[in-house]
């Protein structure tokens, strides 16, 4: 998970957002329809710990990570 955070953080230094796809996220959060909300909650918690927002687009999980503005705590929800 730390390697994933480092990769996302490097990208977010030069870009406004990082779009991660299921194939990249599946290594940390295997996606199963039955446990969909648990997976989404874990991704949101990961983003919050790293100072990012995470907009989850389903089906086929695509997650857009963005840096939070100073004082910004609003987390987008799953679509």
Give residue 79's pLDDT: 47
Give residue 29's pLDDT: 81
Give residue 32's pLDDT: 75
1 DSSP assignment? -
Per-domain boundaries in the chain: 2-67
Sign of the Cα torsion 60, 68, 51, 2 reads positive
Say if residues 54 and 65 touch (Cβ distance below 8 Å).
yes
For residues 16-39, average pLDDT: 83
Give residue 60's pLDDT: 64
Report pLDDT digits (tens) over 28-74: 887 777 788 888 899 999 999 999 999 988 766 788 999 988 765 55
């Amino acid at each position: 998970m730390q390697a994933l955070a480092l990769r996302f953080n490097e990208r977010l230094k030069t870009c406004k957002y990082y779009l991660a796809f299921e194939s990249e996220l599946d290594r940390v959060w295997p996606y199963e329809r039955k446990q969909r909300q648990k997976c989404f909650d874990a991704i949101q918690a990961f983003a919050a710990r790293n100072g990012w927002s995470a907009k989850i687009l389903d089906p086929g999980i695509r997650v857009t990570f963005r840096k939070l503005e100073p004082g910004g705590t609003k987390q987008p929800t799953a679509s």
